[in-house]
Structure 1
Amino acid sequence: MGLLARHWSRIAITLVPLVFALLHATGVLPIGFLQRLDAIIYDARLRATMPRTLEQRVVIVDIDEKSLAEVGRWPWGRHRLAAMVDELFDRQKVAILGFDVVFAEPDDSSGLKQLREMAQRELKDVGGFQERLGQLQAGLDYDAVFARSLEKRPVVLGYYLTSDRDGRTSGVLPAPVMDRAALQGRPIAFTRWNGYGSNIEQLAKAAPVAGYFNSITDGDGVVRSIPLVAEHKGAYYESLSLAVFRTMVGQPAVEPGFPRDRFVGRSYSGLESIVLKQGQRQLAVPVDDRVATLVPFRGEGGAGGGSFQYVSAADVLAKRLPEGSLRDKIVLVGTTAPGLLDLRVTPVGETYPGVETHANVISGLLDGKLPVKPDYTIGYEVVILLAAGLLLAFLLPLLSATVAVLVSVGVMLVLVALNYYLFAAHELVMPLASALVMAGMAFALNMSYGYFVESRSKRELANLFGTYVPPELVDEMVKDPDSYSMKAASRELTVMFCDMRGFTKMSERMEPTQLQELLNAVFSRLTDIIRANRGTIDKYMGDCVMAFWGAPVDTPNHAELAVKSAMEMARAVHQINEEHRAKGLPEIGVGIGLNTGSMCVGDMGSDIRRSYTVIGDAVNLGSRLEGLSKVYGVDIVVSESARKQAPEFAWQELDRVRVKGKEQAVGIFYPVAPAGAAGKETIEELRTWGAFLKAYRAQDWDQCDLQLLNLQRMGAKKYLYELYSERVASMRLLPFDPGWDGATNFETK
């Protein structure tokens, strides 16, 4: 929660695309670009999943250019259409015949109308004419001939619905498949038309089943769906494809399928499905909010598309097809001739035959697989947007740029995969554009904010601390730059002073450039050790290095890291001396003082020059301890406060001292080795030394001599033991002092 609180502004900017996406999804603020992008995604997904196989059950009889060339221009005499119907049912044995054309006007091409007029006027007195006309008119009444061919056959005629200001109508509509009462007063958002152009009465009576062949053209001019049921003046009519399918399965009743969710009220304007009922059997055909279905395109359109078998109408009329070659097929009569204006723009082609859209829907109905936008699309889109948007908003600010890219791409891939799965496995067409654009914009805004706003403060922080702090700590600091500043603060830290011994002698014997090279090489080795252990370089003072641990990045084990650094630095100096001996260069010594305590840390100095440093009594004590390393003949002197916070080492107490400017005595120690690395001899030596110090502070000089002798027998030869041997010899000459606390006073710095 602390991290989220620090990144609240970045989270807020990342949530902006989510807000706009939700407004779009709920219809409060529709975004045209996202609607067009969803259409493009749907088209691409549709093309990627089309089976591209031949549908064996549906055949298209095509009034193509070849047919127009052989038979003549459209419309043909209906006696030819009657002959075609007879051929299809009698010789080819088709199961159902549907017409994707409308017969809106009587056929007068036989001349029967003119002959009747002549029989009533100029030829009414000609003998035998009336009789002969009576014999001929049965064959010359092409509408009657066509009607007789349609009667008592499974034929579905086509018609169209229109919307214009006048609501013009022509022809006879079929019986509606559903009336308003079936809707139970619900305001269903059917596609509505106020006019129609249907078939003449004579044909409508002969073939009472008919369906409109209208499709829905989207805003981009592309036909993607067909309304299965549409409204005209309070009555509800079926599409050509649904009428053909119902004829195929025995004319089941059509009922509205209301949403089954009990939380959906009667005011909801959508249907879940169109239910086809026949006795105890029923089939639910899913529909979208317009009571329409998306066309399940099988592949490229036309005779060469490979999705449906196309048969030229001329070949049917000429009886060129082998008898029974279309047995039990569903046949649709339509046209692909450009001049007859039944070519449409679809997701799979810009000149797609309108009749084939109905063939695709019939195929989908037969398979029970029709893609549909379900009535819960809005709910799905809102849930997906919230899940992805909130995840990105709260996660991206906490990640590096590389991980943020991977997470964003991963989220988008999951969205695409889920969307594709729902479409491929369940024919559910869910919106995707809003979620993808939202995720992309959330990532872009998050990264932009991070680069232009947060990275500026991070760069400033890196510039401020980069010369003092190891790169690893700078990397930690820039993750949360607001938590770090140069402002002075009092904190418990561990300070180190490291002084090189023998520097003055070397300066007298070496050239300045040689001395500079040597000094830089030694400082580089020691600095690398300090930085590797998360130490902060304070300053270089001639031949002395000052560093501290625990700031600017909080480090709980700062004392342990400082002691570890000191031991590694002492070993590094020994290695440097071995190298110097091999090269004939002078050897150097080192003295290190460590103290842990409360210090003031921050950016201090003048207006001209400032530095990030520590000050305070604890710092001064650390400096004094470095000077005491020469007195006790050791490389490292550590205060008791630092020793207590570094129990991972084996310690040898050196003394209790009272330095200049301090009234209170402090214990000083030397780190012998890591606790686990101290051998038995070392442990025994330290135990003996502890017994010596106890006797020393009790002024039991005889016991002191005994313990020093024991140390000598162990082979322990240290300057420290010689120092205390001299002290014991001197103090034997003094009387017993009951007020002595065993501390050594140092009056010099």
Structure 2
Amino acid sequence: MKRNLVRIVLGLLFGVVLLVHAAKVVQIPLLNTLDAFIYDARLRLTAEGGVDDRVVIIDLDERSLAEVGRWPWSRNTMAALVDRLFDEYGIAVLGFDVVFAEPDNSSGLRSLDALAGGELRGDPAFKSAVGRLRDSLDYDRQFAESLRGHANVLGYYFSNADDARKSGVLPAPALPADAFAGRPIAFTHWNGFGANLAEFQKSAGAAGHFNPLIDFDGVSRRVPMLVEHNGQYYESLSLAVVRSLLGKPPIWPGFPEDGPSAGGDYGGLEWLDLPTAKGALRIPVDENVAALIPFRGRQGSFPYLSAVDALRGRLSPDQLRGRVVLIGTTAPGLMDLRSTPVGNTYPGVEIHANLVAGMLDGALSQKPPYAIGVDTVLVAVTALLLSLLLPILSPLRASLLAFAVLAGVTTLNVMLWSSGVVLPLAAQIVLILSLYALNMSWGYFVESRSKRQFTELFGQYVPPELVDEMARDPERYSMEGKKEELTVLFSDVRGFTSISEGLDSKDLALLMNEYLGAMTQIVQKNRGTLDKYIGDAIMAFWGAPVADPEHARRAVLTALEMQKALRSLDAPFQARGWPVLHIGVGINTGSMTVGDMGSIVRKSYTVMGDAVNLGSRLEGITKQYGVGIIVSETTRAQFDGAVYRELDRVRVKGKDEPVAIFEPLGLVGDVDATVVDMLSRWTQALDDYRRQDWDAAGVQLEFLVRQSPECSLYRLYVDRIARYRLEPPGAAWDGVTTFETK
């Protein structure tokens, strides 16, 4: 854990940064952009598609403007359009995505009144004519009369101009000023407005604003259902249209059960209810009391009918009867095109059509105020989980964990989206990918550097898998000298001097490379540390730098495999005219000093001490006993998985204490039964020899020699017994053989 502390701290710090973003304390623009991209992509992928003919758009399109004239049309023309829509086509509700903010003077009535009060003031006939024509020339009054008594909704807009300009007359507020007293609700505030003339507002059935909210990237994704102006609350055009269609039910603000009214601290407004005979129609809203626009698809998700066709009576009544009709424009010159998730030039009137249809279906997605809290909790849990676990896992397991967490949060988000709840996702995705990238990069750049350092230090001594193991916890390993119980192995080629004299330098180099290469592979396969090559000799040890409680076992296995591998070289060596090699191997286990030793000119990671010297001496006396491997009694005691033949008790040069030496014949279970039987006879012969019962020992040895005439060990003891018959060693003899040379 200590070596991973830096990664853990970095991961937690990055998590805190994203936590601050998720909690809306500080915003990171890149994450907002990514969240918007994810939202738009999901919206397009899951859009219902098709055409919903419950809402029809009467389009003030280019053809209508070309045939009737430029906008605004005269109010008598608009009156005729309204009358025809209700009286002839039988529409249910009419909504205007346009504003009638100025009087219509196109009839000339204003000029006639000026003449009647001026130059023609004394002309009774003129005044009488003006009086008779007034009704037919007062287009505004005609339009107001057409609105009266019909289910229609005028549109208007709010603005935040510097001069707080106000024109026209606002409708009555949708909710009283004290409806949200004491509740911290982030309503959208505007200080100015452009509304309809008082005459029209008085005659209209309702009115609603058509301001969408423009997000940071210029895209319209939401429309505030209620906005605040001068302490009053006004509804949107789409909400007013739906209310008109439902008989103008009141608006009931919806608060969660644990709000202030229930004694809690949370006062967020999460929905608006419209009570109807069939139950409340619920409209979910976000922290700004805005509804997400439920886009059905690209432009054309609702029928578009040319306004001039409706005006001239060219439409079939079936196209409009009982429908909600919105009057708006797609003409570029009228500047009502907006950037949306489903199109960069999307008619504003179709935004309201989507909202009306979504409200009627109860299909508005919800981004409740508590979404901030949910996102914050998910980011916190994800940051804690990955920051603590990724640094301690292997690359494969870290990848699987990161993928699982990513899949988990994404699946949860998609499931909530499918149920109509919208939660942010960008912070969680960026957090997971960033922590994963941090840990993988750390592993590649930092830990690989550590591995390279270990490779430089230990790579020439220990096998690659041990270097990898050491690099995972570098604090545990160093090259400083220390005392350890280890097992050392020495091997040497028999008769190397004569071999080298019989080969040219090129063949000798090739022979040694192949021999040393094969032996080194066996050492490293058994997790041994290659100390050095001494000419044709090999020195290796086990138990350092990586601790290994089975160091004695691995050394013995290495010696057995070396002898076996050596015989596999016989045929290829003879085919090339090279001699067959024989080696002696000595192994000892004991306390040794291990570390980086040498001078400032050259150092070597090696072992030193009496136990090392004994291992070297044991290798040297293998030829005396005619065996390939000799291990000490300490090595045999630590590994009993082999079948051993005791060779002798010896006192080597430089060491006063005698030591029992053994030859490993093979692993338990691998040694033939006849060898085991011969071993029993040999053990008896050795016991008789040490008791100076030369006759009994001789009988056993004669049998062994007949069975194995090639065994030098048996002949060695036959010769010793013959010598001791002539020169008895005496009663004080301890059975130990002393060697005065190395």
Which residue, 684, 688, 691 being the options, matches 2:681? 688
Distance of 2:62 and 2:91 partners within structure 1? 24
Which residue, 223, 226, 230 being the options, matches 2:227? 230
User: What is residue 432 of structure 1 aligned with on the other side?
Assistant: 425
Q: How does 1:496-515 map to 2 (within 5 A)?
A: 496-515=489-508
Against the structure 1 CA distance between its residues 716 and 251, is the aligned structure 2 distance closer, same or farther, given a 3 Å change threshold? farther
Shift of 1:603: 0.9
Which residue, 461, 467, 478 being the options, matches 1:474? 467
Shift of 1:221: 2.4
Shift of 1:62: 0.8
Determine if the alignment matches structure 1 residue 567 to structure 2 residue 560: yes
Q: Is the 8 A contact 2:254 2:273 kept in 1?
A: yes
Which residue, 270, 273, 279 being the options, matches 1:272? 270
Which residue, 196, 199, 203 being the options, matches 1:199? 196
Shift of 1:571: 1.4
Determine if the alignment matches structure 1 residue 723 to structure 2 residue 716: yes
User: What is residue 373 of structure 1 aligned with on the other side?
Assistant: 367
User: What is residue 636 of structure 1 aligned with on the other side?
Assistant: 629
Shift of 1:420: 4.1
Against the structure 1 CA distance between its residues 516 and 75, is the aligned structure 2 distance closer, same or farther, given a 3 Å change threshold? closer
One-letter amino acid of the counterpart of residue 625, structure 1 = L
SS class of match (1:56)? coil
Determine if the alignment matches structure 1 residue 536 to structure 2 residue 533: no
Shift of 1:122: 4.9
1:136-158 CA-partner distances (Å, limit 9, x unpaired): 43333323322332223221111
Determine if the alignment matches structure 1 residue 70 to structure 2 residue 67: yes
Which residue, 353, 361, 365 being the options, matches 1:359? 353
Q: Is the 8 A contact 1:10 1:450 kept in 2?
A: no
Q: Is the 8 A contact 2:147 2:205 kept in 1?
A: no
| TM-score normalised by structure 1 residue count | 0.92
Which residue, 27, 30, 50 being the options, matches 1:53? 50
One-letter amino acid of the counterpart of residue 282, structure 2 = A
Shift of 1:736: 8.8
User: What is residue 157 of structure 1 aligned with on the other side?
Assistant: 154
Q: Is the 8 A contact 2:631 2:663 kept in 1?
A: yes
One-letter amino acid of the counterpart of residue 22, structure 1 = L
Q: How does 1:549-698 map to 2 (within 5 A)?
A: 549-698=542-691
Shift of 1:414: 5.1
Deviates more, 1:137-146 or 1:518-527: 137-146
User: What is residue 247 of structure 2 aligned with on the other side?
Assistant: 250
One-letter amino acid of the counterpart of residue 55, structure 2 = V
Shift of 1:626: 0.7
User: What is residue 317 of structure 1 aligned with on the other side?
Assistant: 311
Shift of 1:181: 3.5
Q: Is the 8 A contact 2:148 2:205 kept in 1?
A: no
Distance of 2:198 and 2:404 partners within structure 1? 62
Determine if the alignment matches structure 1 residue 97 to structure 2 residue 90: no
Q: How does 1:320-359 map to 2 (within 5 A)?
A: 320-359=314-353
Shift of 1:510: 2.3
SS class of match (2:365)? coil
Shift of 1:487: 1.1
One-letter amino acid of the counterpart of residue 94, structure 1 = I
User: What is residue 520 of structure 2 aligned with on the other side?
Assistant: 527
SS class of match (1:7)? helix
One-letter amino acid of the counterpart of residue 197, structure 1 = G
Distance of 1:683 and 1:262 partners within structure 2? 88
Shift of 1:495: 0.5
Distance of 1:554 and 1:265 partners within structure 2? 64
Shift of 1:690: 2.9
User: What is residue 293 of structure 1 aligned with on the other side?
Assistant: 291
Shift of 1:405: 6.3
Q: Is the 8 A contact 1:213 1:239 kept in 2?
A: yes
Distance of 1:691 and 1:157 partners within structure 2? 119
Deviates more, 1:52-61 or 1:577-586: 577-586
1:81-122 CA-partner distances (Å, limit 9, x unpaired): 121122212222222111111222333333334444544555
Shift of 1:358: 0.8
Shift of 1:411: 5.1
Aligned length: 741
SS class of match (1:336)? coil
Shift of 1:631: 1.8
User: What is residue 33 of structure 2 aligned with on the other side?
Assistant: 36
Distance of 2:737 and 2:543 partners within structure 1? 30
User: What is residue 281 of structure 1 aligned with on the other side?
Assistant: 279
Against the structure 1 CA distance between its residues 323 and 257, is the aligned structure 2 distance closer, same or farther, given a 3 Å change threshold? closer
Determine if the alignment matches structure 1 residue 459 to structure 2 residue 452: yes
Shift of 1:386: 2.7
Distance of 1:452 and 1:589 partners within structure 2? 46
Against the structure 1 CA distance between its residues 130 and 586, is the aligned structure 2 distance closer, same or farther, given a 3 Å change threshold? closer
One-letter amino acid of the counterpart of residue 329, structure 2 = T
1:313-364 CA-partner distances (Å, limit 9, x unpaired): 1110111112332122111001122222222222333322111111111122
1:191-225 CA-partner distances (Å, limit 9, x unpaired): 12233332223322322321111111123322221
* Structure 2: tracts of 5 or more residues without a match: none
Q: Is the 8 A contact 2:56 2:303 kept in 1?
A: yes
User: What is residue 259 of structure 1 aligned with on the other side?
Assistant: 256
One-letter amino acid of the counterpart of residue 281, structure 1 = G
One-letter amino acid of the counterpart of residue 598, structure 1 = S
User: What is residue 15 of structure 1 aligned with on the other side?
Assistant: 12
SS class of match (2:291)? strand
Shift of 1:741: 3.9
Q: Is the 8 A contact 2:225 2:291 kept in 1?
A: yes
Deviates more, 1:203-212 or 1:169-178: 169-178
User: What is residue 86 of structure 1 aligned with on the other side?
Assistant: 83
Against the structure 1 CA distance between its residues 745 and 180, is the aligned structure 2 distance closer, same or farther, given a 3 Å change threshold? farther
1:28-55 CA-partner distances (Å, limit 9, x unpaired): 3322232233223333333333333212
Q: Is the 8 A contact 1:96 1:154 kept in 2?
A: yes
What is the identity percentage for the equivalent residue pairs of Structure 1 and Structure 2?
Answer: 52
One-letter amino acid of the counterpart of residue 167, structure 2 = S
SS class of match (2:298)? coil
* Structure 1: tracts of 5 or more residues without a match: none
Distance of 2:60 and 2:414 partners within structure 1? 38
Q: Is the 8 A contact 2:685 2:701 kept in 1?
A: yes
One-letter amino acid of the counterpart of residue 218, structure 1 = D
Q: How does 1:353-432 map to 2 (within 5 A)?
A: 353-398=347-392, 412=406, 415-423=409-417, 425-432=418-425
Distance of 1:517 and 1:735 partners within structure 2? 51
Distance of 2:282 and 2:662 partners within structure 1? 88
User: What is residue 480 of structure 2 aligned with on the other side?
Assistant: 487
Against the structure 1 CA distance between its residues 21 and 265, is the aligned structure 2 distance closer, same or farther, given a 3 Å change threshold? farther
Determine if the alignment matches structure 1 residue 171 to structure 2 residue 203: no
Determine if the alignment matches structure 1 residue 140 to structure 2 residue 134: no
Q: Is the 8 A contact 1:112 1:137 kept in 2?
A: yes
Distance of 2:538 and 2:724 partners within structure 1? 37
Q: Is the 8 A contact 1:150 1:206 kept in 2?
A: yes
Q: Is the 8 A contact 1:253 1:278 kept in 2?
A: no
Deviates more, 1:248-257 or 1:712-721: 712-721
Q: Is the 8 A contact 1:107 1:142 kept in 2?
A: yes
Shift of 1:620: 0.6
SS class of match (2:179)? helix
Which residue, 540, 546, 549 being the options, matches 2:539? 546
